[in-house]
């Protein structure tokens, strides 16, 4: 029985490295949800099996280390913080987009405990690490095929992202495996080549590239690319096989260089700079303090020199055409203090510090930065994303989530990890230096991004490895537990084992089953599927919401988007429109009861009400949103719009004056104020506003153009069309010029403009239409009717 349990747990643990490959295209957020649900289910199963095994076999009971103590304390602190958050449900469960929250954190701790308890031999860790490198090599090969255009880069652009859906996530994944390969390379001296490791790595070197080659596009248009890869893949595979038999170190060094190549094409500056800095730190430590491996010292000095030359050399050539035309190198060439001042982080980080000051001890709970962001919104970031749920700095994220205690808890993982590495571990000095380089690279990377499941997993794996390397037996510290367990009868063990199995089965369904069902149902509702009527689609949304999962917020957000679209539909019946509206309204009333201080919900709900004609109720929601985020211009724009609808022009203008004052460089605010003034017949004030911002009253903008037209200021309409035609001489722009001339009664000028429009038009049908307008104009007909 013990062997069955042990092999079952090991099977689960050895399946974890494959999680980055999972992409669930049938689920909402396919690059996030599939990976996270798989991880949670595996951990729940192996944790239950481990509990049963640990009851039966003392060898696999947890061992004590400072890392385990720090991890446990950290999770406990965050749990207390989450219970005191603005929206406890979201802090505990997160959402489909992130799938973090306390649930993921406790799963990571459970994974750490099982991994640290089950991997009790270094050989087991070696097999596990080799498996990680195999998967990473396959994923890196996938990235090369993305680079070659044979596979889609999921986030668009030129930054490869593998199966992670985000180049930043892929980058830190490669950084971890780069240092892992280096650590294993250093460790090989004097060791025999293990038959199993040789077999699996050699097989992967041949099998993985051949499998990837099968994904290449067919046809003549792809012939050249396929020919290139046709000879590259066998060379790489044969080189890898040859290196594996020649000397194991060479294989690990080879794949570490391979990871670096792919990392470069992620164009992720934080990860690349972190890798450079971590490599430099590890090399310096070895060069200065390694006492036994003299050749390794010389190599390390060479690496230090090479890295220094590359960094200094790049500084001198950063403005050359070669660098500036490179989509990757140009991202590094533009790094400067001025760039950081214009990035969103320059606005978001001070908001996070302000949020910390408001709740310094235990913070706001996980998934709560949006409250801080909205409350302390800086109006000067009007041209950035309107919503931020992360600070794009892991340390600030934990400062917000758990206050100073949460941040200290998180930092204690590094502290105890490094303490174990340097004070407790019996690894060779060079191995420890490489791991120190990894920790420093990860920390540097985390200053500019937020974590995700895969980076969490890799960090926990290395913490568990250090825990294994330094942990002491738990027996003396837990004798009050181990004593009764050791003396338990077979009947007692059977009863406890049965209870654990029942709880595990229930947990898998309660934590994952309903949420997966709701997620896939949501996709059906979004896509419409084969549903023949709007009523069927509404029922699908209702079904998804009725699962009552942590995904309900996102389901409601998708529902309200469909409701917005249905209100403008020309094919839906009034009854179907009303049904969508009433159900969506009820759901958002419930959403606001659950999270009354969430600005986003208020804005969505206010928009829904306004679109349906309930202007006062819509205005009330935006006024509540303004209390929560007093400096967010999009809220003020909508409040002004409601005042205009009610005929309160002066009220709208006063609100828009205040909005513009928040950020005078905000062109949208300036245009909105000028447009409101034009409709209110305050033309001199509108002129003043436009001249202050644009030094002209004929600024090319559709809102402004419409306002001038509606108020019959055709001279201003003409001025805008003339500017457009001058800067972009198209048939459409000259047609606008002609229409403006007609409104002003200048028919000769109108005819000349129409002739230019006709001559510029390429479509023969439209060209003939312009000629008809010219003929009608000459004949004295009104061509504007």
CA distance 91 to 254: 43
Please report which confidence band the pLDDT of residue 236 belongs to, taking 50, 70 and 90 as the band edges.
Answer: low
Report whether 179 contacts 441 (CB < 8 A): yes
Per residue in 696-744, pLDDT tens?
A: 999 999 999 999 999 999 999 999 999 999 999 999 999 999 999 989 9
Q: What is the 3-state secondary structure of 624-662? A: HHHHHCCCCHHHHHHHHHHHHHCCCHHHHHHHHHHHHHH
- Residue 210 confidence (pLDDT): 44
State the Cα angle at 189 between 419 and 191, rounded to 5°.
100
| Structure-block tokens of residue 470 | 């330094």
Per residue in 341-351, pLDDT tens?
A: 557 888 999 99
Per residue in 35-92, pLDDT tens?
A: 999 999 999 999 999 999 998 888 899 889 999 999 999 999 999 999 999 999 999 9
CA distance 236 to 82: 49
**Does 537 have pLDDT greater than 60?**
yes
Q: What is the pTM of this model?
A: 0.88
> Would the CA dihedral through 771, 776, 782, 785 be positive or negative?
negative
**Does 454 have pLDDT greater than 70?**
yes
- Residue 158 confidence (pLDDT): 84
**Secondary-structure breakdown of the chain: helix, strand, coil percentages, each rounded to the nearest 5:** 75, 0, 25
CA distance 109 to 464: 10
DSSP string, 261-306: HHHHTTT-HHHHHHHHHHHHHHHHHHHHH--S-HHHHHHHHHHHHH
- Residue 188 confidence (pLDDT): 76
| Mean of pLDDT values over 282-287 | 94
Nearest-CA neighbor of 371 among 385, 357, 390, 384?
390
Q: Is 19 helix (H, G, I), strand (E, B) or coil?
A: helix
DSSP string, 386-441: S--SS-S-HHHHHHHHHHHHHHHHHHHHHHHHHHIIIII--S-HHHHHHHHHHHHH
**Range scoring the smallest mean pLDDT among 266-275, 442-451, 480-489, 501-510:** 480-489
CA distance 714 to 744: 7
Report whether 777 contacts 747 (CB < 8 A): yes
Q: Is 64 helix (H, G, I), strand (E, B) or coil?
A: strand
Residue that the structure tokens 């792919």 belong to: 262
| Structure-block tokens of residue 326 | 């490179």
| Structure-block tokens of residue 62 | 């947890």
Contacts of 356 (CB under 8 A, 6+ apart): 363, 396, 399, 400, 403, 404
| Mean of pLDDT values over 364-377 | 96
């Amino acid at each position: 029985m013990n062997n069955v349990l042990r092999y079952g747990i090991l099977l689960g643990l050895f399946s974890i490295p494959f999680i980055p490959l999972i992409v669930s295209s049938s689920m909402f957020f396919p690059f996030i949800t599939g990976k996270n649900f798989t991880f949670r289910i595996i951990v729940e199963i192996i944790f239950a099996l481990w509990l049963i095994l640990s009851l039966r076999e003392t060898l696999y009971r947890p061992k004590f280390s400072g890392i385990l103590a720090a991890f446990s304390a950290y999770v406990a602190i965050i749990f207390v913080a989450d219970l005191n958050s603005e929206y406890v449900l979201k802090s505990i469960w997160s959402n489909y987009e992130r799938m973090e929250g306390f649930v993921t954190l406790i799963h990571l701790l459970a994974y750490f405990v099982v991994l640290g308890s089950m991997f009790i031999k270094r050989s087991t860790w070696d097999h596990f690490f080799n498996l990680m490198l195999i998967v990473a090599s396959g994923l890196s090969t996938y990235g090369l095929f993305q680079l070659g255009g044979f596979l889609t880069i999921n986030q668009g652009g030129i930054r490869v992202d593998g199966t992670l859906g985000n180049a930043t996530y892929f980058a830190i994944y490669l950084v971890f495996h780069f240092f892992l390969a280096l650590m294993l390379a250093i460790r090989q001296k004097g060791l025999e080549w293990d038959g199993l490791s040789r077999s699996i790595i050699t097989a992967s070197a041949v099998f993985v590239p051949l499998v990837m080659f099968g994904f290449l596009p067919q046809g003549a248009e792809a012939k050249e690319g396929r020919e290139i890869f046709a000879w590259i893949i066998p060379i790489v595979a044969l080189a890898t096989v040859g290196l594996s038999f020649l000397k194991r170190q060479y294989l690990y060094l080879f794949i570490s260089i391979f990871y670096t190549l792919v990392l470069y094409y992620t164009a992720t500056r934080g990860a690349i700079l972190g890798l450079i800095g971590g490599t430099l730190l590890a090399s310096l430590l070895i060069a200065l303090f390694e006492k036994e491996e003299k050749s390794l010292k010389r190599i390390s000095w060479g690496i230090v020199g090479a890295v220094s030359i590359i960094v200094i050399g790049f500084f001198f050539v950063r403005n050359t055409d070669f660098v500036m035309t490179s989509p990757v190198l140009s991202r590094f060439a533009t790094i400067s203090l001025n760039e950081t001042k214009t990035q969103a982080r320059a606005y978001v980080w001070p908001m996070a510090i302000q949020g910390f000051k408001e709740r310094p001890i235990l913070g706001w709970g996980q998934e709560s930065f949006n409250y801080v962001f909205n409350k302390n919104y800086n109006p000067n970031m009007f041209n950035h994303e309107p919503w931020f749920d992360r600070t794009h700095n892991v340390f600030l994220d934990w400062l917000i989530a758990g206050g100073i205690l949460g941040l200290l808890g998180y930092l204690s993982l590094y502290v105890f990890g490094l303490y174990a590495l340097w004070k407790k571990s019996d690894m060779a000095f060079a191995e420890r230096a490489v791991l120190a380089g990894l920790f420093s690279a990860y920390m540097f990377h985390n200053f500019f991004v937020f974590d995700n499941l895969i980076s969490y997993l890799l960090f926990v794996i290395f913490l568990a490895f250090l825990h294994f390397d330094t942990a002491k037996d738990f027996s003396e510290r837990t004798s009050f537990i181990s004593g009764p367990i050791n003396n338990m009868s077979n009947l007692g063990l059977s009863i406890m084992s049965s209870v654990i199995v029942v709880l595990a089965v229930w947990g898998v369904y309660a934590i994952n089953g309903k949420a997966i069902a709701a997620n896939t149902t949501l996709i059906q509702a979004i896509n419409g599927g084969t549903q023949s009527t709007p009523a069927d689609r509404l029922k699908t949304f209702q079904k998804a919401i009725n699962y009552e999962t942590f995904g309900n917020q996102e389901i409601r957000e998708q529902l309200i988007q469909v409701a917005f679209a249905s209100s403008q539909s020309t094919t839906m019946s009034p009854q179907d429109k009303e049904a969508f509206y009433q159900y969506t309204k009820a759901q958002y009333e419930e959403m606001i009861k659950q999270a009354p201080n969430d600005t986003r919900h208020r804005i969505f709900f206010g928009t829904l009400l306004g679109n349906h004609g309930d202007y006062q109720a819509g205005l009330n929601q935006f006024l509540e949103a303004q209390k929560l985020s007093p400096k967010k211009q999009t809220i003020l724009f909508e409040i002004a719009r409601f005042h205009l609808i009610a005929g309160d022009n002066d009220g709208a203008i006063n609100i828009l004056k205040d909005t513009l004052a928040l950020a005078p460089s905000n062109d949208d605010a300036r245009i909105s104020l000028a447009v409101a003034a034009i409709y209110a017949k305050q033309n001199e004030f509108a002129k003043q506003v436009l001249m202050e911002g644009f030094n002209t009253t004929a600024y090319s903008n559709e809102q402004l153009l419409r306002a001038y037209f509606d108020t019959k200021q055709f001279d201003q309409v003409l001025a805008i069309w003339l500017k457009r035609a001058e800067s972009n001489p198209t048939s459409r722009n000259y047609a606008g010029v002609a229409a403006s001339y007609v409104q002003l009664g200048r028919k000769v000028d109108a005819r000349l403009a129409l002739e230019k429009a006709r001559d510029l038009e390429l479509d023969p049908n439209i060209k003939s239409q312009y000629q008809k307008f010219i003929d009608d104009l000459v004949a004295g007909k009104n061509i504007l009717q």
